[in-house]
Structure 1
């Protein structure tokens, strides 16, 4: 992620009522047990999965999927998908609305996020990201070759790498311009001929009567208050994933053409929610 997107009237702070605090506890405790219990189980399984299978992860992704699917049940958020996740080797690119994207994208299909290297050092989140197989990259051009080799190894192992080409999260109601730089690695000789890319649209629908941007997380919004507000909501909204037709990298002249195609597909999938049209 790069520069933070700045939207108008960013919501700040959240002071829950007594009833809302009870709701936070009723949802937050089971959610915490699910996430951290799943993480502990995943780490234990990796103790024998890693030496036996190496880069392959035949078991632990199922734990991640279980956690993400049941997180939505605990939160009370309706989850639905349309389209078919691709089976070819390659990457997934999607619009980025906020922290809920992690659960949304992992619940249906096993994916491995690609994130900036700084995230690895973040308290809690960095540990969780490393445990679930996140690929960390530096922006240093000197490391471009080694990073491409990491991509190739992971892709050849059947991992679906997940990129957010917008470079930052938004208010969930728009698609920001895709940065074509992220697509450059796909066109190297080691990747271009076998790699496919699938655009995916994340559509968030706020609880009835709430701000349409309710699930978006952007700007200077703090994670804690946003999480608490999500937990406190009596009746939740829903999230829908639209899986678009995968495309082969070699069918495009270059990174800009591929980025433009993926952006158009994701933007179309957002439909009447997209205020950037």
Structure 2
């Protein structure tokens, strides 16, 4: 790819981010004035922003399946930070994110003003975050979680942690499994994954220095949550995503491992 085209992509993304900052600044002002500061409005504007950010990224996106017409707890495999704008453009959504994201320059503030819920891993505040998630869902606001708890290289799927799905069971909200897959030249894309000690700036440079790749987002059949154990619900969602991505079911032995993790 030419250096000129790579720089043009960077400029486009920076313009979109500047637009996002202006939207987030408006939300911050509305918070201070205590006017019109609803989560529904945040989600609608965030979806509008995510659509423009996704369009500025070097991906061709294919979406299959039906968008839910009711609030749900979306559960997706997690490959990259780009999962967030790609999913966020589909519908008014909020995200559950690791607390470290809140400290990221620019991106952390944008996430906060977009209504993201933050969780500190291993901090013992799981009950608090489950309560916040429940309130969010009861307010009829869809929420996206990545129950693997980390990103992968896209070639495998980690165990879905059941405790993150407790809020769906408590509120009776259905679960929307989502499978996201990055492909380059017919093979799993090794540039899109954001794993290990990678940093955001270096990852952006790699993305923009290479040709466009493909992303397939599959919205799978919703899963009823009422009356289910959280480990069983997590495994059912994991099975759906596993089959969608790799065409094969998770072995029963993994169910026992998932139950322990929950």
| Shorter-chain TM band | 0.7 to 0.9
1:82-115 alpha-carbon deviations (Å, 9 max, x no partner): 1112233331100000111011111112221112
Aligned pairs for 1:66-215 (under 5 A) are 66-138=48-120, 139-141=122-124, 143-187=125-169, 191-192=170-171, 194-206=172-184, 208=185, 212-215=189-192
Separation (CA, whole Å) in 2 of partners of 1:211 and 1:81: 17
For 1:144 and 1:70, locate their aligned partners in 2 and report how far apart those are by CA, in whole Å. 33
Q: Which of 205, 226, 230 is matched with 1:250 structurally?
A: 226
Q: What is the RMSD of the two structures over their aligned residues, measured on CA atoms?
A: 2.6
Give the equivalent residue in structure 2 for 1:12.
Answer: none
- Unpaired runs of 5+ residues, structure 2, are 252-262
2:214 aligns with one of 228, 238, 251? 238
Q: 2:9 & 2:89 partners in 1: Cα distance?
A: 19
Normalized against structure 1, the TM-score is what? 0.79
SS of residue paired to 2:154? coil
Residue 269, structure 1, aligned to residue 235, structure 2: no
Q: How does 1:43-54 map to 2 (within 5 A)?
A: 43-45=25-27, 47-48=29-30, 51-54=34-37
Cα distance in 2 for partners of 1:204, 1:170 equals 12
Judging changes above 3 Å, is the alpha-carbon distance between structure 1 residues 140 and 200 closer, same or farther for their aligned structure 2 residues? same
Offset, 1:268? 1.1
How many pairs were matched up? 249
For 1:36, the equivalent position in structure 2 comes to 18
Question: Following TM superposition, where does structure 1 have runs of at least 4 consecutive aligned residues deviating by more than 4 angstroms?
Answer: none
Shift of 1:255: 1.1
Higher relative contact order (CA 8 A, sep 6+): 1
Gaps of 5+ in 1: 1-18
